Chain A
Amino acid sequence: MEILQSFGLYLTSQFENNMFQLVLFIIALSLLFFGTHFRKNRKLSQSRSSVLLSVGGWGSRGKSGTERLKAALFNGMSLSLVSKTSGCEPVMVCAGVDEPLEEIPIYRPFDKATIWEQSKIVEFADGIQVDVFLWECMGLEPEYVGIMQRDWMQDDLATITNTYPDHEDIQGPSGLDVAESIAKFIPQNSSVITSEEIMLPILKQRSTQLSSDLTEVSLMQRTEVTEDILEFFPYEEHPNNIALVLSLAEAMAVDKDYALREMIERVKPDIGVLKIYPLLHRHDRSLVFSNGFSANEKMGCLSNWTRLGLDSPRSQGTWVSCLVNNRDDRSTRSRVFAQMLAEDLTCHQFFVMGSNCLGFRDLYLKATKDYISKIDLTSELGRYQIIERLNKYLNIPHKNTKETSNIDHHTDSLRPMERWQNLKHSYQDSDSADAIRELYQDFLSSRIIVLPHESQDPLLILETVIKNAPPSTSIHLHGIQNIKGPGLRFLEFMEDWANFHRVSQLKPECRFQQFLSSHEKNDNICDNASPLPKANKGSEHSAIKRSTAIVSSTVAKILRPVKEISQTLKAASVYKKMQQGKMSYSHGSKEIRDIQSY
């Protein structure tokens, strides 16, 4: 009791320690800090030296897709591997010798990324004694990238996809600076393969300085990835990425037929890849959805737009819509996409979901005003160009001409049709400039539809999109901007639909209806199985419920660190079991997902 009391006094007093004790404390703390780092670095170094072949990959665009292709290639070469990659979420793609690739999510405490994760994964790879370790550089800061490459990994081989200007706030400000930042990934005394063309001199210079070989993907290697080969891939892979991995295969003395077939056969695509889902029929319209959520910068988005043929002249009865998944923590991206929608993406309508949708709408309206103010309508040619552009938007020839009169009343965006019909024959007159400008402004402003939060369920989104299109049209819905949040939910819904479509024996026109029935049934089963009480509409105790919710969320926030620590320990134990061979990769993946969703 006395000891406790004296200790309590010691704790609460300001003067119980002397200078010597303070110095001792600082030394102890420093030893702990530096000792921990020294130990971690040493462990990482030991693990890295046990890994026989390390192949890193970086670039602005296409790095995740390329990593997955590389994993498929090495898997085809009967080598065991671990590939650290990302996409929608960070995962490890693992495989034993002559075994299929398995995805294991990487558990991140507090959902935070740190470069120390690299050390854990290298230790994991060392533990399971893999032949090849592949890793995608997920860092952005050039200094961190330098640490990972030159101090830790020292890759035997590296790939750089491209150096498009992206993350300029960290790697920029100019495109040249971005290329120089990415060039910091080049290892010393090693070999690098790249499919970058424009900033190639910068990469070459850096590799010369570091005594590394740089090989660029040649035109002939790109030519070898023909259209008919691209069709065999389970998703829309960019030919440059395939050509890059083919170049890697060629350098490893693997013939291209073998490499291509094995990549196609074995690749494990990310849910966020550019993919076109099966056609569905609903309410007298058909809809096909293409996923472009992962292309979250301008060049990637425009490239997808072109590759899908959405900038080409449209066939009869085609209606193009975009589904924009906005995030409130990515304001720069929102601005870029708002501008793209105003100037570049010629869709009939677009729907905004996610967070801060009204903010996005304001950005878009401002972008349209700026864009229209820059258009030169003083010349006849300028006016003609705008009329042609409007022609692309508004000219929707329909299979059934009787439907035409319904359309004007049906969809707001088509009401300007009458005005356009009048103006398109009078553009030669210079007085029509203001009317054309006003029409174009009105049209652009009316294209946007903001989806309220309660309508962001995947099925409700589809219903909204379909009902806002004219009847008897073929809708192409393209998802853009971000994947996280409602975008991922929507994709999961479409994946379920794709899986259902694959096995269904029904006529194509009836499949979606059947899918919805089975989907609702599953939802009902889940609801019935849920231990949580259902919301009682019109409850008299809603104020008590709200305050209970506030209290419980506050308590949850306070207890979160404890929960994260316990989940981290659980995840670590799962990884350890996989390392020791006591748990299969697929079972381990399931366990990690359960921990993440808890």
Chain B
Amino acid sequence: MIQQNFGSSLPKYLHGIYKRDFDELNESFQAVASEQNLSLSDFLCQKILSEIDDVRSSGQPSRDQRHRIDLCIRKLIQISDDEGPRLDNQRIVKLTESVPFMTQYAGRQMLRYLGLHISKNQKKLSYGDRKLLTPLLQEQAIQFQSQFWLHLESSLLLIEVSTNHLKEEIFDHLWSQDYSKRDKIFQRAYILERGKKSDKIWNLLIQNDILSRDIKDEYLQMRLVDLLAFRQLDLEDMLNRKVLFDSSLVTTIFYLMRPQTPNSSLSGTIHNFLRECRNRDLPCQLRILHLIKDLCQHHLETDVTQMGNKDFFQSLLDFSIDMYKTGLPQHQRLASWIITFVKHRMRKPKCTFLRDCYAINQYDAKQQLTEIPAAIGLGENEKLTLLAMSTYDSFDGYIVRQRESIRIRFGYRPKFALWRMIAEIRKPSANKRQGRPHWFARHWLGTIKLPSARLCEQVTTEAPGEPVQNQTTGDWCPWLPLVSDFFMSLKTKKELIIRTIEGTTRISRPNHLLTRLKAYCLMTWKISLLCDLRLHHRQETILDSSYIKFYRSIGFQIEFSESSFLPQPNNYILSAFKET
């Protein structure tokens, strides 16, 4: 979710372009470099320069030459963080001189590498070195005037190489240059980005008081937060100045809750930022709730013990409860998840049951039946609620057995349903997919359902009875049974249970056979009406209880009981189950 899966030294799909040379680099170049008593970076630079010499003589680089140069530069950048020895001056000068013979992107990457390399090896740059490089870079900065990135990179490299006076002059020129609004934003954003890795740029930003200015561009402000967080500075200053955009607030919370952030900075700061969130508009609050949920989930999937201390969790809990108490269905939905997670975490910090649930690979269709070890020390209620949390964002789960271990089936099994067939016969249409059965409905795989809150349709389709997204809550109201759930209930004597984070819904079928038969006929006949009625709103935030009333009138017993984790009744849910 947050981490990328492409952690290799070269993204693997670029192997397609660089396949031959990359393999060659990894295996034989290292050996060749050792034979010649060169470091790998020196060897790569030598290779680049020899390719450039060929390009100079031929005029235009061939495809292979371009790829080899690109690859060597990528490899240089990749090893630059690890490699100790620096390049010698002559090499730096030659590489700088070779930039005009490269493609635009390669040239830019080369200048970037040189800038970062020199920044890292600052103390080893002598007066003689600077005297050699400065005029060359000045000339190139002018030469590249019309090429945005090459001009920017050569100017930043000039800053790294230059003395105090000149570097300030260049910085002033860069920061206040008369670019279009668009290019100015990108230029400044990139300079802020470079402030992370270059102390010189960072010092210039401080000297020019950039970091304490009120930045009016949303994108730039986000980059500023990014930089301050990277440098582990106090972000609260921005809060005190009350200049944060919504996106910057989201970014700040992201940085404060990231796994890499030291725990010590969490407790007080996050509390203050969450307090600020309460003053923001609804879309911003929703984004922050989403972010908090995602980050909690990420921590859960990696290592929940590293997440934060007690004060940190208390801050999250207080915020979530406040959001829950707004009474807005979307807020309540997300806040329910966070409250359940945090309360469980605070009560049982060492319990790994929830993490075990998340660790199950629910996406392997072959592994439909899964066993989870018994949850020692957890009550029945808590256990089922945590299981409901684990299926929240994946497939439905059905509890088949609960003894020493819990057996769950994931996914769904479509089975022939007479009611679907009758619905199809009543509403034939040439617009329906041909050669595909329309007579199948989802069948329960156990008697306790742990529905996914995520999987649903965004608009109604020609298949009746499917979960459809409710715009008010953002999910499909999994706590409200589907029409197919009632049909399922008719087939079994047992009470069917739907377990969600919000609570438990229980369905029992009518007692007498004739009543059941009558119910089946009525449900089949009124299928379209019932599907429409399921998410019908009386008012914007109140669901119509006609749906449940209909089923009660034909003999079903339906009850909803709220989760004990939640601080107060959820009126939106209760309105659907209202008796009168």
Q: Which A residues have a C-beta under 8 Å from some C-beta of B?
A: 52-55, 76-80, 97-98, 129, 131-132, 156-157, 164-165, 168-178, 190-191, 197-202, 204-205, 207-209, 213, 215-216, 218-220, 223-224, 226-229, 232, 250-253, 255, 257-258, 260-261, 264, 298-299, 332, 381
13 more A-B residue pairs beyond the given contacts A78-B103, A200-B454, A205-B364, with a C-beta to C-beta distance below 8 A: A52-B17, A168-B431, A168-B433, A175-B456, A175-B457, A175-B466, A191-B6, A197-B454, A201-B452, A251-B4, A257-B190, A258-B108, A332-B431
Q: Are A173 and B462 in contact (CB under 8 A)?
A: yes
B251 touches A (CB below 8 Å)? yes
Q: Are A78 and B106 in contact (CB under 8 A)?
A: yes
Q: Are B185 and A201 in contact (CB under 8 A)?
A: no
Of A79, A129, A258, which one neighbours B149 at CB under 8 angstroms?
A258
B303 touches A (CB below 8 Å)? no
Of A164, A173, A223, which one neighbours B438 at CB under 8 angstroms?
A173
Give chain B residues whose Cβ lies under 8 Å from the Cβ of A52. 16-17, 19
What are 10 A-to-B residue pairs whose CB atoms are below 8 Å? A52-B19, A156-B13, A165-B457, A169-B430, A175-B457, A201-B363, A201-B393, A201-B395, A204-B394, A209-B365
Q: Are B217 and A228 in contact (CB under 8 A)?
A: yes
Q: Are B459 and A156 in contact (CB under 8 A)?
A: no
Most B CB within 10 A of own CB, among A157, A169, A201, A227:
A201
Q: Are B462 and A172 in contact (CB under 8 A)?
A: yes
CA distance A204 to B5 in the complex (A): 14
Contact with A along B354-398 (1 / 0, CB 8 A): 000000011111000000000000000000000000000111000
B104 touches A (CB below 8 Å)? yes
Give chain B residues whose Cβ lies under 8 Å from the Cβ of A228. 185, 217-219
Minimum C-beta distance from B291 to chain A (A): 6
Give chain A residues whose Cβ lies under 8 Å from the Cβ of B364. 205, 208-209
Task: Kindly report which residue of chain B lies nearest to residue A379, judged by CB atoms.
Answer: B538
CA distance A132 to B17 in the complex (A): 8
Instruction: Evaluate whether A98 and B104 lie within 8 angstroms (CB atoms) in the complex, with A131-B17, A174-B461, A226-B219 already known.
Output: yes
Of B11, B77, B217, B452, which one neighbours A251 at CB under 8 angstroms?
B11
Of A165, A169, A299, which one neighbours B431 at CB under 8 angstroms?
A169
Q: Are B291 and A198 in contact (CB under 8 A)?
A: no
**3 closest pairs, A vs B, by CB?**
A175-B457, A78-B103, A174-B463
Give chain A residues whose Cβ lies under 8 Å from the Cβ of B365. 205, 209
Give chain A residues whose Cβ lies under 8 Å from the Cβ of B362. 201
Of B217, B395, B432, which one neighbours A173 at CB under 8 angstroms?
B432
Minimum C-beta distance from B336 to chain A (A): 19
Give chain A residues whose Cβ lies under 8 Å from the Cβ of B438. 173
Contact with A along B180-224 (1 / 0, CB 8 A): 001101100110010000000000000000000000011100100
Q: Are A198 and B469 in contact (CB under 8 A)?
A: yes
Instruction: Evaluate whether A220 and B454 lie within 8 angstroms (CB atoms) in the complex, with A168-B431, A168-B433, A257-B193 already known.
Output: no
Give chain B residues whose Cβ lies under 8 Å from the Cβ of A132. 17
Of A80, A177, A251, A255, which one neighbours B193 at CB under 8 angstroms?
A255
Q: Are B455 and A172 in contact (CB under 8 A)?
A: no
Q: Are A54 and B16 in contact (CB under 8 A)?
A: yes
Q: Are A213 and B433 in contact (CB under 8 A)?
A: no
Of B454, B458, B539, which one neighbours A175 at CB under 8 angstroms?
B458
CA distance A332 to B433 in the complex (A): 13
Give chain A residues whose Cβ lies under 8 Å from the Cβ of B287. 219, 223
Q: Are B431 and A157 in contact (CB under 8 A)?
A: no
Instruction: Evaluate whether A218 and B294 lie within 8 angstroms (CB atoms) in the complex, with A97-B103, A168-B433 already known.
Output: yes
CA distance A97 to B11 in the complex (A): 21
Instruction: Evaluate whether A261 and B1 lie within 8 angstroms (CB atoms) in the complex, with A174-B457, A198-B455 already known.
Output: no
Instruction: Evaluate whether A191 and B12 lie within 8 angstroms (CB atoms) in the complex, with A169-B432, A205-B365, A264-B182 already known.
Output: yes
Give chain A residues whose Cβ lies under 8 Å from the Cβ of B67. 131
Q: Are A168 and B247 in contact (CB under 8 A)?
A: no
CA distance A198 to B430 in the complex (A): 28
Give chain A residues whose Cβ lies under 8 Å from the Cβ of B13. 53, 55, 156-157, 190-191
Instruction: Evaluate whether A224 and B222 lie within 8 angstroms (CB atoms) in the complex, with A191-B6, A219-B291, A257-B190 already known.
Output: yes
B148 touches A (CB below 8 Å)? yes
B403 touches A (CB below 8 Å)? no
Give chain A residues whose Cβ lies under 8 Å from the Cβ of B12. 156, 191
Q: Are B148 and A215 in contact (CB under 8 A)?
A: no
Give chain B residues whose Cβ lies under 8 Å from the Cβ of A165. 457-459, 461
Task: Kindly report which residue of chain A lies nearest to residue B394, judged by CB atoms.
Answer: A201
Q: Are B1 and A216 in contact (CB under 8 A)?
A: yes
B2 touches A (CB below 8 Å)? yes
Q: Which of B105-140 contact A (CB under 8 A)?
A: 105-106, 108
Minimum C-beta distance from A342 to chain B (A): 16
B52 touches A (CB below 8 Å)? no
CA distance A253 to B12 in the complex (A): 12
Of B11, B148, B245, which one neighbours A261 at CB under 8 angstroms?
B148
Of A53, A169, A173, which one neighbours B16 at CB under 8 angstroms?
A53
Most A CB within 10 A of own CB, among B1, B193, B433, B454:
B433
Give chain B residues whose Cβ lies under 8 Å from the Cβ of A223. 222, 247, 250-251, 287
